[in-house]
């Protein structure tokens, strides 16, 4: 599978960047999907990296080829997960983190973010990453490979703030599944900050504002004037 070059967005002076947010989109979308949200966040001196998932056949969607971070199987088989696909995307996300380190951004100034399937990869990767990250945005998502967390979790990010948000009307990823993921993370010692919104499987204005405040707190950034 080949990954296209990620979209990058910067507000303000690109020479004074000292923080990065790597933001993974959901199933069937691409890196441009969250570009309007990044614009609304209006944060200066932060590099937003919006990667594009490779196209692949998705079993749950009758083998239809679409951008995906890993394969999804039939809902009647909830225990069946695409281990190889998840690990491949974890490796790719880790390479994007390394790119930022190579550009002079400290690991504790890097945020992993993602929506739905992208959020699953962000959670999975952050929980195992060996160096301290600034934070995690896990939006309308869940933790994959939950049973492996106890033995694979890295202590480096136990205290890292995880902004986990879910819609009370989400009919794609159930609230029960999201809350079970939250509990699994908390039982492993991770610092989950839970947010619930009256929305479906999407992003709302209140959530965007909360994300802005969360990122400002993590990265100590001022709004662009």
Q: Annotated catalytic sites, by residue?
A: 116, 170, 201
According to the model, what pLDDT value does residue 134 have?
97
According to the model, what pLDDT value does residue 2 have?
63
Q: What's the whole-model pTM score?
A: 0.95
According to the model, what pLDDT value does residue 222 have?
57
According to the model, what pLDDT value does residue 15 have?
75
According to the model, what pLDDT value does residue 11 have?
82
According to the model, what pLDDT value does residue 225 have?
44
According to the model, what pLDDT value does residue 74 have?
78
For residue range 87-119, what is the model confidence (pLDDT) as tens digits?
999 999 999 999 999 999 999 999 999 999 999
Q: Are 27 and 117 in contact (CB under 8 A)?
A: yes
**Domain assignments of the chain as residue spans, ordered by start:** 7-219
Query: Distance of CA 36 to CAs 7, 77, 147, Å?
Result: 12, 35, 35
Segments of the chain with pLDDT less than 50: 225
CATH node for 7-219: 3.40.50.1820
According to the model, what pLDDT value does residue 3 have?
77
According to the model, what pLDDT value does residue 221 have?
64
Antiparallel, parallel or unpaired: β 46-50 and 7-10: antiparallel
């Amino acid at each position: 599978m080949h990954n296209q070059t990620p979209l990058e967005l910067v507000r303000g002076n690109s020479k004074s960047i000292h923080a990065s947010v790597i933001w993974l989109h959901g199933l069937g979308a691409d890196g441009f999907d969250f570009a309007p949200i990044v614009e609304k966040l209006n944060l200066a001196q932060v590099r937003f990296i919006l990667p594009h998932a490779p196209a692949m056949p998705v079993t749950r969607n009758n083998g239809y080829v679409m951008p995906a971070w890993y394969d999804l199987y039939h809902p009647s088989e909830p225990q069946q997960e695409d281990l190889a696909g998840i690990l491949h995307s974890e490796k790719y996300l880790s390479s994007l983190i390394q790119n930022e380190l190579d550009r002079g951004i400290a690991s504790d100034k890097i945020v992993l973010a993602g929506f739905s399937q992208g959020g699953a990869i962000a959670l999975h990767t952050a929980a195992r990453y060996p160096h301290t990250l600034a934070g995690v945005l896990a939006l309308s998502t869940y933790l994959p490979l939950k049973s492996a967390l106890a033995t694979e979790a890295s202590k480096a990010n136990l205290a890292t703030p995880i902004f986990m948000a879910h819609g009370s009307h989400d009919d794609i990823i159930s609230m029960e599944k999201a809350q079970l993921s939250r509990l699994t993370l908390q039982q492993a010692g991770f610092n989950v900050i839970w947010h619930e919104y009256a929305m479906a499987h999407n992003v709302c204005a209140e959530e965007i504002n909360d994300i802005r405040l969360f990122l400002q707190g993590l990265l100590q950034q001022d709004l662009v004037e």
